[in-house]
Amino acid sequence: MTTAATATPASTRRSILLLSFATFSSMTSQRICDAMLPELSREFTVSLGKAAQVISVFAVVYGLSQLFCGPLGDRIGKYRVVTFATLACALGSGVCAFAGSIDALVIARMLVAAGAAAIIPLSMAWVGDLVTTAHLQETLARLGLGSTFGVVGGQLLGGFLTDAVGWRWAFGFMTLLFGSVGTLLYFNWRKQSPLSTPGGHAVSAGNAGFVRQSLSMLIAPWPRTVLAVALLEGASGFGVLAIWASHLHSTHHLSLSMAGSIVALFGLGGVLYMAVARHLIRRFGQVGLCLVGGALVGLSALVLGLTPYWYLSIPAGLFGGFGFFMFHNTMQANATQMTPKTRGTAVSLFACALFIGQSLGVMAAAALIAPLGSGVVVALGGGVITALGAYFAYALRQREKHLHPLPT
């Protein structure tokens, strides 16, 4: 039986490994502020909602930056853009470490977001250019190990370093991480031949302009469905996830490092899914992954949000992450196939929808905590993911019937 690993050349596998390191860095930078929000609120004497701007504004800039990253990757080379974006993130993280106010930190985070925006979507698009459709979702799952480990790393580092030595050291670590990975990517990029770097040559369809490409996707029913679901997934999944650590800290009086460690299990659950993804993809198919994954997230969020026993949040975080990435990996695979000729732009639009949704979710969650309580908000976020999983499973079935109608 031919697997994605054996079907992919060794040089491409090495490049994918380095891209996985880059996606780890990008996702770590996204989640590193989650557990430090209470400390930022105390140090800068601002509300939790104001402190949460280091996450929500990051997500807005991340999403809007896709307007430039995708077309740029299609034109001058996806791997090249990822390389220099990673190095730029090292500079931005260094600025974060020396921020003197919450507003200065938000601005510095915007600089990091602009660079980080290119890393995950263009890495996915680069893989989509090189890997056959039969092996695509499995290979994306392997690439996704980096970003899912990043969820774990961001939560753990944000909580641990904030408790142990202060939040500034967390950004110092990110400076070193981005700098090291960016350097490795640069030397690997220099070794690649033009034919092995998708997007490094002219792509006729990619020269049509971002606006025209985007409009063509929004007009088409299937890309419009994928992007709409991604927007809601970002809001109810990644957006609400930002308050999990704060909920555990305030409700169960856990330390920031302990709360961050429990929420990091969400990412660990994603890592476990990636480890067995090949078998689950073949066992359940995309429809089954959406249904089972969505149900696991809903049940886990219900337990984590409403249980009076903090230790039950440990398995809830783990199974919630496992289920979420079952669903999210399926979304990623469909995003890379929306418009293969302009894959960089398509995946960037997907990321744009996902992270604008995340920003809206963070703001909505912060606003709903006072009237509803953080536990109810966490549970509601999981319920929305369950509904999205069921809807996208239905949409996949309808698409399959449309593409392959039964003979009459």
Looking at the predicted structure, is the pLDDT value of residue 81 above 90?
yes
Looking at the predicted structure, is the pLDDT value of residue 200 above 50?
no
Each residue's pLDDT tens digit, 265-308: 888 888 899 888 888 988 999 999 999 999 999 999 999 999 89
Residue pair 303/293 in contact by the 8 Å Cβ criterion:
no
Q: Please give the mean pLDDT across all residues of the chain.
A: 84
Of all residues in the chain, what percent carry a pLDDT higher than 70? Answer: 90
DSSP symbols for 86-140: HHHHHHHHHHHHT--SHHHHHHHHHHHHHHHTTHHHHHHHHHHHHS-HHHHHHHH
DSSP symbols for 135-178: HHHHHHHHHHHHHHHHHHHHHHHHHHHHHHT-HHHHHHHHHHHH
CATH number for position 128: 1.20.1250.20
On whether residue 344 sits in a domain, the answer given is yes
The span from the CA of 118 to the CA of 226, in Å, is: 20
On whether residue 230 sits in a domain, the answer given is yes
Residue 297 has a pLDDT of 95
User: What's phi and psi for 376, nearest 5 deg?
Assistant: -65, -40
User: What's phi and psi for 193, nearest 5 deg?
Assistant: -85, 155
Pick the more confident residue, 386 or 207: 386
Q: How many Cα atoms occupy the beta-carbon half-sphere of 129 within 13 Å?
A: 28
Residue pair 148/285 in contact by the 8 Å Cβ criterion:
no
On whether residue 203 sits in a domain, the answer given is no
Q: Residue 178 corresponds to which tokens in the numbers above? A: 């981005």
Q: Name, in order, each residue with C-beta under 8 angstroms of 63's C-beta and a sequence gap of 6 or more.
A: 117, 351, 352, 353, 354, 355, 356, 358, 359
Calculate ∠ Cα 374-150-133, nearest 5°: 110
Looking at the predicted structure, is the pLDDT value of residue 324 above 80?
yes
Residue 124 has a pLDDT of 87
What's CA 346's distance to the chain center, in Å?
Answer: 16
On whether residue 198 sits in a domain, the answer given is no
On whether residue 1 sits in a domain, the answer given is no
Least confident of 188-197, 244-253, 316-325: 188-197
310 burial level (CB within 10 Å; 0-12, 13-18, 19+): middle
Looking at the predicted structure, is the pLDDT value of residue 53 above 50?
yes
- Residues 104-119 have a mean pLDDT of 93
Pick the more confident residue, 38 or 107: 107
Q: Which amino acid is at 392?
A: F
On whether residue 200 sits in a domain, the answer given is no
Least confident of 5-14, 133-142, 297-306, 313-322: 5-14
Determine if the pTM surpasses 0.85. Answer: no
Pick the more confident residue, 207 or 144: 144
The span from the CA of 380 to the CA of 362, in Å, is: 13
How confident is residue 70, by pLDDT bands cut at 50, 70 and 90?
Answer: confident
The span from the CA of 301 to the CA of 27, in Å, is: 21
User: 122 is in which domain, residue-wise?
Assistant: 10-193+209-403
Q: How far is CA 45 from CA 37, 51, 368, in A?
A: 12, 9, 21
How confident is residue 112, by pLDDT bands cut at 50, 70 and 90?
Answer: very high
Q: How many domains in the chain?
A: 1
How confident is residue 62, by pLDDT bands cut at 50, 70 and 90?
Answer: confident
Residue pair 254/314 in contact by the 8 Å Cβ criterion:
no
On whether residue 89 sits in a domain, the answer given is yes
Residue 216 has a pLDDT of 67
On whether residue 269 sits in a domain, the answer given is yes
How confident is residue 151, by pLDDT bands cut at 50, 70 and 90?
Answer: confident
Nearest alpha carbon to residue 269 among 236, 304, 317: 317
Each residue's pLDDT tens digit, 391-404: 999 999 998 887 65
Residue 402 has a pLDDT of 73
How confident is residue 351, by pLDDT bands cut at 50, 70 and 90?
Answer: confident
Q: Residue 263 corresponds to which tokens in the numbers above? A: 């929420």
Of all residues in the chain, what percent carry a pLDDT higher than 90? Answer: 37
- Residues 12-39 have a mean pLDDT of 89
How confident is residue 203, by pLDDT bands cut at 50, 70 and 90?
Answer: very low
How confident is residue 315, by pLDDT bands cut at 50, 70 and 90?
Answer: very high
Q: Name, in order, each residue with C-beta under 8 angstroms of 102's C-beta and a sequence gap of 6 or more.
A: 40, 44, 46, 50, 51, 53, 54
The span from the CA of 145 to the CA of 399, in Å, is: 29
The span from the CA of 408 to the CA of 397, in Å, is: 18
